[in-house]
Structure 1
Amino acid sequence: MVIPTFNEADNLGWIVGRLRTARPDVEVLVVDDSSPDGTGELADRLAAEDAGVHVVHRTAKGGLGAAYLAGFDWALARGYDVVGEMDADGSHQPEQLHLLLDALGAADLVIGSRWIPGGSVVNWPRRRELLSRGGNLYVRILLGISVKDATAGFRVYRRAALEKIDLASVQSTGYVFQTDLVERCLRAGLTVREVPIEFVERVRGDSKMSGEVALESLRRITRWGLRNRREQLRARLRRD
């Protein structure tokens, strides 16, 4: 499981410990973006104590997408057949990872979803829930996909899926990275499944979501939606 971090010293040991207890067979890769609060040094100590924990240190804070791409490259280069994502803040519960792994038998990408029947959120204000639901509705309408929680960050990929979707061409750096990879999987004809999870709002540290990040997501999704409409129109004109 790839866990990107920036200033998560209060959470990292706790979440890595939970994950290694819940699934001792699952290894952890911490990708730290030079956190000034000592998260990187803590990750190194965890790795020194546990052979199932690994660390990649990046020299700058380059965004969530860039951190995940670095983690994927590391895992693929070392021959892992399944690569997953999860947050460091405890919002994704390691005790539910088995739900995603079990569903991977019939899928290329499995997403832990808040917005399908059985999914839920804990300690979110109504405004934030409406924002997430509305954003995902916008994604479905603009991109013409049926995935209910395309922005979710608790997921597992088959190696073959990551190799097929041309990670080298991914330019998304913020949270829109998650939507980008969902759409790439679907456009490549891969099978995407959602399983319900309980998402828990962080209790320590600060969220990395900001207005600037949200605007980047909106701009890119709109651009992709317009691109898809142009491609559909060209295809229709060619058939006519």
Structure 2
Amino acid sequence: MMKKLIIIATYNEKDNIEKMLMDVFTSVPDVNILVIDDNSPDKTHEIVEKIITERYPDQLHLMKRSGKLGLGTAYIAGFNWGLERDYDVIGHMDADFSHNPKYLPSMFEALANGYDLVLGSRYVKGGGVVNWGLKRKIISRGGSLYAKIILGLPFNDLTGGFKCFKRKVLETIGINELKSTGYSFQIETTYKTYLNGFKIKEIPIIFEDRVLGQSKMSGSIFKEALLMVLRMRLNKNSFIRK
């Protein structure tokens, strides 16, 4: 049986975090969860600490950071934490229910059947988005298409943050050398995984825009992604490690 870890990075998610954690444990009872909280002003971490003490002392873990240090750095910290503790599979997802925990069993099943990275994909048959405006759709779909063309990747959703990796992928791609944040972080990890010959599968998900709280997406993150994709293409050969 695979030892599984899901990373959930939080910043001001007190309205969502308890239900999200319960839904993940309901969907995958044997999973472990690492919440990485960037010193949320709304005290998200206090809710997590209470759940650890009262319900899941062995399966739920908390990493508290000093401030808002960025999603990419949170995932890198989580990857390292998981590798140090010998997890076989390490995934990450959002705390706001845009990523539904009901898809986790299918993602883990794909890993058990020989895939090395599984992407929760909005842009394959059966996938989609709910409650998005036209601008958001254009930015997301356009960003994935742009990266797909520039990098020569055969995948449709390259900017999504619902992913599960086998540990050998993270050990190979140089997680401590990742340069990106936001959208481009997701592109970079998939690109490096692909270049190193690992098997990648997209499974369809319905992405529902958050109901509570505020989106973390910004124009600056999107612009960074455009530039980072070009840099990745120019540095392609340095990404190959296998």
TM-score by length of 1: 0.92
The aligned residue for residue 167 of structure 1 is 175
Q: Are 1:74 and 2:86 matched, yes or no?
A: no
Deviations 1:112-169 (A, max 9, x none): 1000111111111233122211111100111111111111111110011110111121
Deviations 1:58-115 (A, max 9, x none): 1121111100011111111111101011000000000111111111122110001000
Q: Which has the larger radius of gyration?
A: 1
Q: Are 1:18 and 2:26 matched, yes or no?
A: no
Match of 2:161 among 153, 159, 165: 153
Match of 2:39 among 34, 38, 61: 34
Bigger CA drift: 105-114 or 126-135? Answer: 126-135
Amino acid in the other structure paired with 1:134: G
Separation in 1, partners of 2:200, 2:11 = 29
> For 1:90, what is the secondary structure of its paired residue?
coil
Q: Which sections of structure 2, spanning at least 5 residues, go unmatched?
A: 1-5, 238-242
Contact 1:64 1:175 in 2 (8 A): no
Offset at residue 23 of structure 1 (A): 1.3
Contact 1:62 1:173 in 2 (8 A): no
Separation in 2, partners of 1:21, 1:190 = 30
Bigger CA drift: 189-198 or 123-132? Answer: 123-132
Percent identity of the aligned residues?
A: 44
Deviations 1:174-206 (A, max 9, x none): 331111100110111111110111111110000
Shift in CA distance, 227/168, structure 1 to aligned 2, threshold 3 Å: closer
Q: Are 1:198 and 2:206 matched, yes or no?
A: yes
> For 2:182, what is the secondary structure of its paired residue?
coil
Q: Which sections of structure 1, spanning at least 5 residues, go unmatched?
A: 232-240
- How many residue pairs get aligned? The number is 229
The runs of at least 4 consecutive aligned structure 1 residues that moved more than 2 Å come to: 225-228
Offset at residue 26 of structure 1 (A): 1.0
Separation in 1, partners of 2:234, 2:163 = 27
Amino acid in the other structure paired with 1:74: W
Bigger CA drift: 167-176 or 15-24? Answer: 167-176
Contact 2:9 2:35 in 1 (8 A): yes
Separation in 1, partners of 2:139, 2:218 = 13
Separation in 2, partners of 1:127, 1:213 = 15
RMSD over aligned CA atoms reads 1.2
The aligned residue for residue 143 of structure 1 is 151
The aligned residue for residue 14 of structure 2 is 9
